[in-house]
Chain A
Amino acid sequence: GENVEQHPSTLSVQEGDSAVIKCTYSDSASNYFPWYKQELGKRPQLIIDIRSNVGEKKDQRIAVTLNKTAKHFSLHITETQPEDSAVYFCAASPYSSASKIIFGSGTRLSIRP
Protein backbone atom coordinates (compact mmCIF):
# COMPACT_ATOMS: atom_id res chain seq x y z
CA GLY A 1 0.00 0.00 0.00
CA GLU A 2 0.84 3.67 -0.19
CA ASN A 3 3.29 5.20 2.29
CA VAL A 4 3.78 8.95 2.52
CA GLU A 5 6.74 10.50 4.30
CA GLN A 6 6.80 14.17 5.24
CA HIS A 7 9.60 16.48 6.37
CA PRO A 8 10.25 18.45 8.47
CA SER A 9 8.04 17.62 11.44
CA THR A 10 8.37 21.17 12.75
CA LEU A 11 9.26 24.37 10.94
CA SER A 12 9.69 27.88 12.29
CA VAL A 13 10.10 30.79 9.89
CA GLN A 14 10.21 34.55 10.23
CA GLU A 15 7.08 36.35 9.12
CA GLY A 16 7.46 37.30 5.48
CA ASP A 17 9.90 34.50 4.69
CA SER A 18 9.08 31.37 2.71
CA ALA A 19 8.29 27.91 4.05
CA VAL A 20 8.86 24.65 2.21
CA ILE A 21 7.50 21.24 3.19
CA LYS A 22 8.55 18.12 1.34
CA CYS A 23 6.90 14.74 0.89
CA THR A 24 7.70 11.48 -0.81
CA TYR A 25 5.34 8.66 -1.70
CA SER A 26 5.84 5.01 -2.51
CA ASP A 27 2.98 3.93 -4.79
CA SER A 28 3.61 4.83 -8.41
CA ALA A 29 -0.15 4.49 -9.04
CA SER A 30 -0.84 7.55 -6.91
CA ASN A 31 -1.85 10.51 -9.03
CA TYR A 32 -3.73 12.86 -6.72
CA PHE A 33 -1.76 14.84 -4.15
CA PRO A 34 -3.69 17.15 -1.83
CA TRP A 35 -2.30 19.38 0.90
CA TYR A 36 -4.28 20.13 4.03
CA LYS A 37 -4.03 22.71 6.78
CA GLN A 38 -5.36 21.70 10.15
CA GLU A 39 -5.88 23.92 13.14
CA LEU A 40 -6.23 22.46 16.62
CA GLY A 41 -9.45 20.51 17.04
CA LYS A 42 -10.63 21.28 13.50
CA ARG A 43 -11.10 19.29 10.34
CA PRO A 44 -8.36 19.23 7.70
CA GLN A 45 -8.84 22.03 5.20
CA LEU A 46 -7.78 21.50 1.61
CA ILE A 47 -5.47 24.34 0.61
CA ILE A 48 -4.19 23.10 -2.73
CA ASP A 49 -3.98 19.90 -4.71
CA ILE A 50 -2.16 18.67 -7.77
CA ARG A 51 -2.78 15.84 -10.15
CA SER A 52 -0.09 13.89 -11.92
CA ASN A 53 -0.70 15.40 -15.31
CA VAL A 54 0.86 18.66 -14.13
CA GLY A 55 4.20 19.45 -12.50
CA GLU A 56 3.37 22.67 -10.71
CA LYS A 57 0.33 24.56 -9.49
CA LYS A 58 0.08 27.94 -7.82
CA ASP A 59 -2.65 29.72 -5.92
CA GLN A 60 -1.64 33.16 -4.65
CA ARG A 61 1.03 32.59 -1.96
CA ILE A 62 0.82 28.80 -2.12
CA ALA A 63 2.43 26.57 -4.72
CA VAL A 64 2.92 22.85 -5.07
CA THR A 65 5.43 21.02 -7.25
CA LEU A 66 5.35 17.38 -8.25
CA ASN A 67 8.13 15.16 -9.55
CA LYS A 68 6.53 11.85 -10.49
CA THR A 69 9.78 10.25 -11.55
CA ALA A 70 11.31 10.83 -8.13
CA LYS A 71 7.97 10.46 -6.30
CA HIS A 72 8.47 13.80 -4.59
CA PHE A 73 6.08 16.66 -4.06
CA SER A 74 6.50 19.88 -2.13
CA LEU A 75 4.47 22.74 -0.71
CA HIS A 76 5.81 26.27 -0.93
CA ILE A 77 4.31 29.14 1.06
CA THR A 78 5.68 32.58 0.28
CA GLU A 79 5.37 35.82 2.26
CA THR A 80 4.28 33.89 5.33
CA GLN A 81 1.84 35.47 7.72
CA PRO A 82 0.92 34.68 11.36
CA GLU A 83 -2.32 33.05 10.24
CA ASP A 84 -0.28 30.49 8.31
CA SER A 85 0.70 28.91 11.64
CA ALA A 86 -0.92 25.45 11.74
CA VAL A 87 -0.20 21.81 11.05
CA TYR A 88 0.13 20.95 7.38
CA PHE A 89 -0.38 17.47 5.94
CA CYS A 90 0.53 16.17 2.53
CA ALA A 91 -1.35 13.19 1.17
CA ALA A 92 -1.42 10.86 -1.79
CA SER A 93 -4.15 8.87 -3.46
CA PRO A 94 -4.47 6.57 -6.48
CA TYR A 95 -7.09 7.69 -8.96
CA SER A 96 -9.95 5.19 -8.82
CA SER A 97 -13.55 4.95 -7.70
CA ALA A 98 -12.57 3.65 -4.28
CA SER A 99 -9.26 5.40 -3.85
CA LYS A 100 -8.28 6.29 -0.34
CA ILE A 101 -6.18 9.23 0.76
CA ILE A 102 -3.08 8.41 2.79
CA PHE A 103 -1.68 11.20 4.91
CA GLY A 104 1.88 12.16 5.71
CA SER A 105 2.93 12.61 9.32
CA GLY A 106 2.40 16.36 9.36
CA THR A 107 4.47 19.52 9.74
CA ARG A 108 3.85 22.00 12.52
CA LEU A 109 4.54 25.41 11.01
CA SER A 110 5.15 28.37 13.29
CA ILE A 111 5.47 31.91 11.97
CA ARG A 112 7.62 34.18 14.15
CA PRO A 113 6.48 37.82 14.24
Chain B
Amino acid sequence: GAVVSQHPSWVICKSGTSVKIECRSLDFQATTMFWYRQFPKQSLMLMATSNEGSKATYEQGVEKDKFLINHASLTLSTLTVTSAHPEDSSFYICSARPLEVLDEQFFGPGTRLTVL
Protein backbone atom coordinates (compact mmCIF):
# COMPACT_ATOMS: atom_id res chain seq x y z
CA GLY B 1 0.00 0.00 0.00
CA ALA B 2 0.82 3.74 0.05
CA VAL B 3 1.94 3.99 -3.57
CA VAL B 4 2.53 7.33 -5.26
CA SER B 5 3.01 7.65 -9.00
CA GLN B 6 4.28 10.48 -11.17
CA HIS B 7 3.82 11.13 -14.83
CA PRO B 8 5.79 11.59 -16.94
CA SER B 9 8.96 9.98 -15.62
CA TRP B 10 11.00 12.19 -17.89
CA VAL B 11 10.32 15.04 -20.28
CA ILE B 12 12.37 17.15 -22.65
CA CYS B 13 10.95 20.47 -23.77
CA LYS B 14 11.98 23.63 -25.55
CA SER B 15 12.70 26.82 -23.69
CA GLY B 16 9.57 28.92 -23.28
CA THR B 17 7.10 26.06 -23.25
CA SER B 18 5.08 24.80 -20.28
CA VAL B 19 5.26 21.34 -18.79
CA LYS B 20 2.72 19.62 -16.54
CA ILE B 21 3.72 16.92 -14.07
CA GLU B 22 1.11 14.74 -12.37
CA CYS B 23 1.36 13.19 -8.92
CA ARG B 24 -1.16 10.54 -7.94
CA SER B 25 -1.75 8.61 -4.76
CA LEU B 26 -2.87 5.22 -6.07
CA ASP B 27 -4.27 3.49 -3.01
CA PHE B 28 -4.95 6.22 -0.48
CA GLN B 29 -6.39 9.68 -0.22
CA ALA B 30 -4.23 12.68 0.56
CA THR B 31 -5.36 16.17 1.48
CA THR B 32 -1.75 17.27 1.47
CA MET B 33 0.90 16.65 -1.16
CA PHE B 34 4.34 18.17 -1.42
CA TRP B 35 6.51 19.13 -4.36
CA TYR B 36 10.30 18.98 -4.18
CA ARG B 37 13.04 19.87 -6.62
CA GLN B 38 16.44 18.20 -6.61
CA PHE B 39 19.41 19.43 -8.59
CA PRO B 40 22.31 17.04 -9.29
CA LYS B 41 24.27 16.07 -6.18
CA GLN B 42 22.06 18.24 -3.99
CA SER B 43 19.33 17.65 -1.47
CA LEU B 44 15.59 17.72 -1.96
CA MET B 45 14.33 21.27 -1.65
CA LEU B 46 10.68 21.74 -0.76
CA MET B 47 8.98 23.96 -3.30
CA ALA B 48 5.40 24.01 -2.11
CA THR B 49 2.70 22.29 -0.12
CA SER B 50 -0.33 21.35 -2.18
CA ASN B 51 -3.65 21.44 -0.33
CA GLU B 52 -6.73 19.75 -1.74
CA GLY B 53 -9.40 22.31 -2.55
CA SER B 54 -7.33 25.35 -1.67
CA LYS B 55 -4.32 27.32 -2.78
CA ALA B 56 -0.85 25.87 -2.51
CA THR B 57 1.61 27.23 0.02
CA TYR B 58 4.93 28.12 -1.57
CA GLU B 59 8.30 28.16 0.12
CA GLN B 60 10.28 31.36 0.20
CA GLY B 61 11.95 32.10 -3.11
CA VAL B 62 9.67 29.87 -5.21
CA GLU B 63 7.70 31.81 -7.82
CA LYS B 64 4.05 30.82 -7.57
CA ASP B 65 3.26 32.21 -11.02
CA LYS B 66 5.98 30.09 -12.58
CA PHE B 67 5.25 26.86 -10.73
CA LEU B 68 1.48 26.41 -10.82
CA ILE B 69 0.07 23.81 -8.48
CA ASN B 70 -3.41 22.36 -8.63
CA HIS B 71 -4.75 19.80 -6.15
CA ALA B 72 -8.18 19.16 -7.54
CA SER B 73 -8.90 15.84 -5.85
CA LEU B 74 -7.77 13.75 -2.93
CA THR B 75 -5.59 11.63 -5.21
CA LEU B 76 -4.13 14.07 -7.74
CA SER B 77 -1.88 17.09 -7.63
CA THR B 78 -0.30 18.70 -10.68
CA LEU B 79 2.73 20.94 -11.04
CA THR B 80 2.98 23.06 -14.17
CA VAL B 81 6.30 24.68 -14.95
CA THR B 82 5.38 27.67 -17.06
CA SER B 83 7.70 29.28 -19.60
CA ALA B 84 10.40 26.77 -18.76
CA HIS B 85 14.05 27.73 -19.11
CA PRO B 86 17.22 25.63 -18.98
CA GLU B 87 17.76 26.56 -15.32
CA ASP B 88 14.46 24.82 -14.51
CA SER B 89 15.99 21.52 -15.60
CA SER B 90 15.89 19.34 -12.51
CA PHE B 91 14.45 16.24 -10.87
CA TYR B 92 10.97 17.00 -9.54
CA ILE B 93 9.62 14.70 -6.83
CA CYS B 94 6.22 14.74 -5.18
CA SER B 95 5.13 13.16 -1.94
CA ALA B 96 1.77 12.52 -0.34
CA ARG B 97 0.51 11.93 3.16
CA PRO B 98 -2.49 9.69 3.81
CA LEU B 99 -5.44 11.33 5.57
CA GLU B 100 -5.00 9.34 8.74
CA VAL B 101 -1.24 9.91 9.01
CA LEU B 102 0.25 13.10 10.41
CA ASP B 103 3.94 12.59 9.74
CA GLU B 104 5.15 9.98 7.27
CA GLN B 105 5.09 10.88 3.58
CA PHE B 106 5.26 8.61 0.56
CA PHE B 107 7.33 9.71 -2.39
CA GLY B 108 6.69 9.45 -6.08
CA PRO B 109 9.41 8.14 -8.42
CA GLY B 110 10.28 11.60 -9.69
CA THR B 111 10.19 13.38 -13.03
CA ARG B 112 13.36 14.35 -14.84
CA LEU B 113 12.79 17.66 -16.67
CA THR B 114 15.27 18.81 -19.28
CA VAL B 115 14.72 22.19 -20.89
CA LEU B 116 16.65 22.80 -24.09
Residue positions of A touching B, CB distance < 8 A: 32, 34, 41-44, 46, 49, 51, 89, 93, 95-106
Q: List, in ascending order, chain B residues with CB within 8 A of A98's CB.
A: 32, 49, 51, 57
> Main SS of chain A's interface residues?
loop
- Taking CB atoms, residues of chain A closer than 8 Å to B44 are 44, 89, 103
B contacts, CB < 8 Å to A: 31-32, 34, 42-46, 49, 51, 57, 91, 93, 95, 102-105, 107-110, 112
A-B CB contacts (within 8 Å), total count: 52
Say how far A93's CB is from chain B's closest CB, in angstroms.
6
B-side contacts of A97, CB under 8 Å = 31-32, 102
| Complex contacts, A49 vs chain B, CB 8 Å | 103-104
Q: Which residues of the other chain, B, contact A41 by a CB distance below 8 angstroms? A: 91, 110, 112
Contact flag A34-B104 (CB < 8 Å), given A89-B43, A98-B51? yes
Q: How far is the CB of A106 from chain B (nearest CB, A)?
A: 5
A4 to B109, CA, bound (A): 23
